[in-house]
């Protein structure tokens, strides 16, 4: 049996302080690339989930390596799951109880290559496969969302975050992904769900970066978000931020949230989550990692 890790509150604070420093440095790398128009794509990965998930830039790799190298130097026994450093088939081969940083260097890559400021870095930390800390940083608008398990969520380290508490979809700003370039089945599911929301919701938006979309629910800047075919690096930090801000985090089926299952529904309240689940058409994808676990 794999050993469990014991990590103190003080150690988690230390981990987060270093991660915050490195993430801010990565924000400068991202901003410089956008401002100097060095944000072009260098590779198109295998498609199927949509154009946004198929784009890779030089800055993606630069940011991910900056985070991994910086954290490894400070905490040599930590592990990493990064979007750009997983195996070529996209599957996670190893995930242990050790402190593990789950990284999306640039979430909203399609926004990035079009110089749209809604671009973020997402980094979540698990210990014993449980989420304990997370950061979602949007450098172009100077918003850094963060959370530590049991200690709440904050904006820029100061403002305490709380969900809006909206309970009825008629008053809710809904966020979803429009999977441009995805296969026909996924496109059809998205259009069906969009149609339901357009007839029920107060507003519907599709900003792009999943991690930021999720964090916005925690911040009360939106009320509900769902996605099918997302990855653990998109969800890890945001899921903890929403949970610590008093929101609901679950699988769209109503089951317990599973970080490796690639599906998520977050909402400002249980009542709103249940209303959304009533009309959602589901789209299933393969897991990121085979083992199921309780993550929050």
Catalytic positions are: 83, 104, 106-107, 109, 234
Q: Identify the bridge partners of residue 264 per DSSP, sorted by sequence position.
A: 227
Q: Identify the bridge partners of residue 254 per DSSP, sorted by sequence position.
A: none
The structure tokens listed for 204 are 């519907």
Q: How far apart are CA 107 and CA 43, in angstroms?
A: 16
3 Cβ partners below 8 Å, 6+ apart? Answer: 97
The separation between the first and the last C-alpha atoms of the chain, rounded to the nearest angstrom, is 22
The structure tokens listed for 35 are 């401002």
Closest CA to 224 of 205, 237, 241, 199: 205
Q: Identify the bridge partners of residue 169 per DSSP, sorted by sequence position.
A: none
Q: How far apart are CA 210 and CA 231, in angstroms?
A: 10
223 within 8 A of 254, measured Cβ to Cβ: no
How many other CB atoms are found less than 10 A from the CB of residue 20?
Answer: 17
Closest CA to 47 of 55, 39, 38: 55
């Amino acid at each position: 049996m794999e050993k469990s890790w014991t990590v103190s509150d003080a150690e988690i604070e230390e981990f987060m302080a270093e991660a915050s420093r490195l993430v801010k440095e990565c924000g400068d790398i991202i901003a410089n690339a956008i401002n100097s128009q060095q944000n072009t794509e260098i590779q198109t990965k295998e498609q199927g989930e949509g154009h946004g998930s198929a784009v890779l830039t030089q800055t993606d790799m630069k940011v991910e390596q900056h985070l991994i190298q910086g954290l490894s130097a400070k905490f040599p026994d930590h592990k990493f799951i990064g979007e750009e450093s997983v195996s070529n088939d996209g599957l996670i081969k190893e995930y242990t109880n050790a402190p593990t940083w789950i990284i999306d260097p640039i979430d909203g890559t399609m926004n990035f290559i079009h110089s749209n400021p809604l671009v973020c870095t997402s980094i979540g930390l698990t210990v014993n496969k449980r989420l304990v800390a997370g950061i979602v940083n949007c450098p172009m608008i100077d918003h850094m969302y963060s959370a530590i398990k049991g200690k709440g969520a904050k904006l820029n380290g100061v403002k305490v975050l709380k969900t809006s508490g909206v309970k009825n979809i008629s008053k809710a700003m809904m966020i979803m992904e429009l999977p441009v370039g995805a296969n026909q089945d996924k496109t059809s599911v998205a259009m069906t769900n969009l149609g339901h929301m357009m007839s029920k919701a107060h507003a519907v938006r599709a900003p792009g970066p999943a991690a930021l979309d999720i964090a916005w629910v925690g911040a009360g800047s939106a009320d509900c978000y769902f996605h099918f075919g997302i990855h653990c690096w998109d969800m890890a930090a945001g899921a903890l931020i929403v949970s610590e801000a008093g929101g609901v985090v679950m699988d769209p089926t109503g089951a317990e949230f599973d970080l490796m299952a690639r599906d998520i529904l977050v909402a400002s309240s249980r009542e709103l989550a249940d209303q959304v689940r009533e009309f959602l058409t589901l789209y299933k994808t393969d897991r990121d990692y085979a083992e199921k676990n309780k993550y929050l």
